[in-house]
Amino acid sequence: MRCLREWSMSRVEVVVDRVSPTAGDERFIEWLEGWLRVRYVVDAYLRHNGTEVVFVMQKDMFRLFVEMYRVVEYMRWKLKSKASVAVCSDDGECIDMSDTDYVVFTSKYKIKKLVKAVNIIKKLVKDNYVSGVTVETWFGRTILNIGCYDVLLYTDEVVALSGILLDKLYNVTSLEILRDARDYVYSVFNPIDFNSTVVDLEVEEDDDAFISIRLDGCEKGFTYEEVLKLAYKLLVAAVNDLIDVKMIVERDYGIE
């Protein structure tokens, strides 16, 4: 019965703190209102002398949280906003989306599958250096820059992105070893599971043996070798992060 209650439709509020708002806070609030109105019938009002903006709709609090938490974190980061955000039910229960750590935690079995993919690609590349590309990963998140600006991704999205790159390479080269590596990746985190990803991603084949990657508006062409190195670079970073997260979660929470 608890599950039925949690997933039932009810009045829910998304509350944004705007005490001494910065320019980034105001841009974030404008973005959030637009994001919500595109998807739901929303009422909005100010309360507590304008220090809070409240968006009201009919939705289950937990379902709305699942739909929002990644994109809210990303846009707060992108717009450099410190505004607190919470989603609250009509009976006073709230989830603070700005003061909670969300990490990608997976099993040792799935990590081993990703390691197999890493080992396959390792046989094909001498290193993972790609000019202009940086990957910085920490506790479930990755800052990826393919040559324009930083983009924030979750580790599962990084894994899925590496799978997309491997899939594109397999399509243009027909190398079965790339298909095998892709299949290992997709068996863990498949891109079809990330339809609500916060970043805009397109991977297309160009002429002259180039593959074009457009990530959150930044578009850059890479050679097949560079794409393979990028897939390898992303996978290595993601596997190391998944292992670190697993160790910390097991140590701190006793979850295996």
pLDDT tier, 218 (very low <50, low <70, confident <90, very high otherwise): confident
Last residue of a domain, one of 96, 120, 150: 96
> What tens digit of pLDDT does each residue of 152-202 get?
888 999 999 999 999 999 988 899 999 999 999 999 988 877 654 545 677
Residues 124 and 176 in one domain: yes
- Reply yes or no on whether the pLDDT at 91 is more than 60: yes
Full strand arrangement of the beta sheet holding 94-96: 43-47, 52-58, 11-17, 85-89, 94-96
Average pLDDT, the chain: 86
Give the count of alpha carbons within 13 A of 227, CB side only.
28
Q: What per-residue confidence (pLDDT) applies to 5? A: 43
* CATH assignment at residue 68: 3.30.70
CA geometry: angle 187, 204, 176, nearest 5 deg? 45
Residues 59 and 130 in one domain: no
Residues 68 and 175 in one domain: no
pTM over 0.85, yes/no: no
- Reply yes or no on whether the pLDDT at 18 is more than 60: yes
Percentage of the chain beyond pLDDT 70 is 89
Q: What per-residue confidence (pLDDT) applies to 143? A: 92
Determine the distance from the C-alpha atom of residue 235 to the mean position of all C-alpha atoms in its chain, rounded to a whole number. 15
Residues 142 and 214 in one domain: yes
- Is there a domain that residue 103 lies in? no
Give the structural domain span for 14: 2-96
Residues 183 and 151 in one domain: yes
Which whole number is the average pLDDT over 213-220?
86
Last residue of a domain, one of 96, 119, 151: 96
Percentage of the chain beyond pLDDT 90 is 50
- Is there a domain that residue 31 lies in? yes
> Into how many domains does the chain fold?
2
- Is there a domain that residue 77 lies in? yes
Last residue of a domain, one of 46, 76, 96: 96
Residues 119 and 196 in one domain: yes
